[in-house]
Amino acid sequence: MQVCDQLAASGVTPVLSPSDLDDISGRLTDPSIIGLLGVDVQTTDLELVIVLGGDGTILRAAEIVRGCPVPLLGVNLGHVGFLAESEREDLRASVERVLGGDYLVEERMTLDVVVTHRSEVVYEGWALNEATVEKASRERMIEVVIEVDARPLSSFGCDGVVMATPTGSTAYAFSAGGPIVWPSLDALLFVPLSPHALFSRALVIGPDSVLAVEMLERTPGAGVLWCDGRRGFDLPPGSRIESRKSAVPVRLARLTHGPFSDRLVRKFALPVEGWRGPVERHE
């Protein structure tokens, strides 16, 4: 409500989705100031999306405006909120800066994901963080072959495989033991989940490559594909899942201009006490 009132007082029309409006309509000072997304205002008409919540809410917002160049500004109301730009206590100041146009826009790589089964395309999707092939049942692992640029790398049984972007390197891929990749670097990640294999390292691959996971038919284990943990698709044995860099990025509004290392330290509360910094040289 605070954000809606602040925007309206500045002569800007706040816009909400029907479901979000239903959630807060009883607490709005004046519901008539709100534009309804998809009815009064289309996504192509939006100037900026302010997202109140954690990373999951930001992923939902990115899904709603997919294909539109509108940037997203995340205000963290959750825990880590790695994609968020500011915290709850900075909300009013953040909106003031947005109203003044005092922000930068950063583009983040996304993935195009295609599933084929018996040479037929059965699913097409996308992901900002990761596309994950996982076992569908707790009792039975899946057997897969992982592939880069139409060449096989390894075959193993596992709980799943994560194909991630640099943005997703601090999400599911990080939890699975993958490396943290700076978002300024164009790269793709392969991270196996609990693999039964001697060679099971996470891989960092060039942005123009095509990653693929083939589910072997020699075991009856079924799988499921999750894009950003939000959009799922059931995978029968024999499915082939390809991921590649998408031509459509997600645009994030940034209020701070510090290096990614500062964000890493702040979000993960990393210990840096005792750091003295580079030694100054006196000529």
Q: So which residues are the catalytic ones?
A: 55
Q: Where are the alpha helices (DSSP H) in the chain?
A: 2-9, 18-24, 55-64, 91-99, 172-175, 260-268
The neighbour count for residue 14, using CB atoms within 10 Å, is 18
Residue 125 to residues 3, 34, 131, 144, Cα–Cα distance (Å) = 32, 31, 9, 20
Cβ within 8 Å of residue 120, ≥6 positions away = none
State the burial class of residue 222 (Cβ atoms within 10 Å of its Cβ: 0-12, 13-18, 19+).
middle
The 3-state secondary structure of 32-60, one letter per residue:
HHCEEECCCECHHHCCCEEEEECHHHHHH
Residue 209 to residues 34, 170, 246, Cα–Cα distance (Å) = 44, 21, 11
CA distance 137 to 46: 41
Torsion angles phi and psi, residue 20, rounded to 5: -65, -40
Strands 49-53 and 72-76: parallel
CA distance 219 to 200: 20
Torsion angles phi and psi, residue 164, rounded to 5: -125, 160
* Cβ atoms 249, 62 nearer than 8 A: no
What angle, 0 to 180 degrees and rounded to 10, lies between the N-to-C axes of helices 91-99 and 2-9? 30
